[in-house]
Amino acid sequence: MAADWTDSLNFGLSLAKQASQVVMEAYELRTEEFTCKSSAADLVTQSDVKVENFLKSAIGSKYPQHRFLGEESVAAGERLELTDLPTWIIDPIDGTVNFVHGFPFVAVSIAFCVNRQTEFGIVLSCVDQKVYYARRGGGAYCNGRRLRVSEQQDVSKCLVVTEIGAERDDLALSTMTSNILTLLKLPVHGVRALGTAAVDMCQVATGAADVYYHVGMHCWDIAASAIIVQEAGGVVMDTEGSRFDMMSRRVIAASSSVVAHRIARAIRAFPCSRDDAEPSQ
């Protein structure tokens, strides 16, 4: 008999709401200082670390046998390894650049995996207090309202969401900008970027957008929102058209298989190492 993770989901929802309060207190002050990590677009603030430490401590106290993968913990040197053990994958503030500038799309993202399979995902959009969540086999919701993708089949009628991301070398930038040009010439209705992959993908789950794609994000950016899209009836896969792998740093989330595969044929990926790749010596 499959395990019932209802208590863990409810605990995660409670934690996300508490974390959002911490984020919003700092967001409203507009005084947060930051440092750069891998690039000028890859920022970390004291609030990122504070929220992650809060989540890590709370989860560890309630579930001492569970593992934890967090953006800032990995940035600080912890190894990123997804095992069969129950594992929480956390992005304490998805959209840190937005957070620093006061641009109103900032999220707390929490995913829970067992046997390398996501059991539930939670994305709390902090400014507008929208709580997106999904449980495997249980549907997707926003503030209690059932979500459903648009089911759009015609790529020329699609609104596309993507991000430039933190990769700023010439190859990454030229690939990302040429992909946008390619899509606009398909044509699609438009291309949008909110500055947070988690919220971007949730727009597909609501039907407000028809497809999201990106290369170069990390597992904590998309682990929660991927199951939300899937449980809303959407398709999530690799940009090459193969099975979705959250460690590959490539994703398409779409309203239909037809649209997903059409986008996969149109865009190109640039090389980036897997999240779970062995560190170079």
| Catalytic pick among 32, 52, 94, 210 | 94
DSSP state of 278: P
**Residue 121 bridge partners (DSSP):** 111, 134
169 is catalytic: no
| Catalytic pick among 89, 90, 93, 122 | 93
238 is catalytic: no
| Catalytic pick among 32, 48, 52, 71 | 71
Measured CA to CA in angstroms, residue 112 lies from 11, 127, 235 at distances of: 11, 23, 19
Pairing of strands 117-125, 107-114: antiparallel
Nearest residue to 217 (alpha-carbon basis) of 176, 258, 254, 182 = 176
**Residue 27 CA to its chain's centroid (Å):** 20
119 is catalytic: no
Residue with tokens 């902090």: 126
Residue 117's CB is within 10 A of a number of other CB atoms, namely: 9
221 is catalytic: yes
Query: Quick one: which H or E segment has residue 267?
Result: none
| Catalytic pick among 221, 231, 238, 275 | 221
Q: DSSP per residue over 144-198, as a string?
A: TEEP-------GGG-EEE----S--SHHHHHHHHHHHHHHHTS--SEEE--S-HH
Question: What's the CA gap between 217 and 128, in Å, rounded?
Answer: 24
275 is catalytic: no
35 is catalytic: no
| Catalytic pick among 72, 91, 238, 275 | 91
Question: What's the CA gap between 190 and 109, in Å, rounded?
Answer: 26
**E strands, the chain, where?**
34-36, 43-45, 67-70, 87-94, 107-114, 117-125, 130-135, 140-142, 145-146, 159-161, 190-192, 211-215, 235-237, 250-254
Q: Which residues are catalytic?
A: 71, 91, 93-94, 96, 221
